[in-house]
Amino acid sequence: MTKYVTYLIKSIVLRIVDSKDCIREEFLDFVTTERVTVEALAAKIKETLLKYGLDFQDCRGQGYDGASNMAAQCGVQGLLLAENSLATYTYTV
């Protein structure tokens, strides 16, 4: 019997306010995950930030499309918001 494994590929993009108060978006990385649970996705986001020396506690927002496992109060945004109350959620297209 052949086992199929599905991987979810997501891009992580940062919106940054630089030292000149200019807002810009920077692509950070493509990440893959075999699990799409809320906990696995939140962990992957934090793991990727740490990989680049970024502290999740310094985040001041988070944005996702309307997928329920990302955007719902019980989704990734809710889990991360509970860890950092300054990382408020904004819907993105």
Token pair in block for residue 19: 């030292």
Sign for the CA dihedral angle at 77, 92, 59, 8 comes to positive
The single-letter code of the amino acid at 66 is G
User: Is the CB of residue 60 less than 8 Å from the CB of residue 86?
Assistant: yes
What's the pLDDT score for residue 65?
A: 81
6-45 confidence digits (pLDDT tens): 677 889 999 999 899 999 999 999 999 888 899 999 999 9
What's the pLDDT score for residue 1?
A: 65
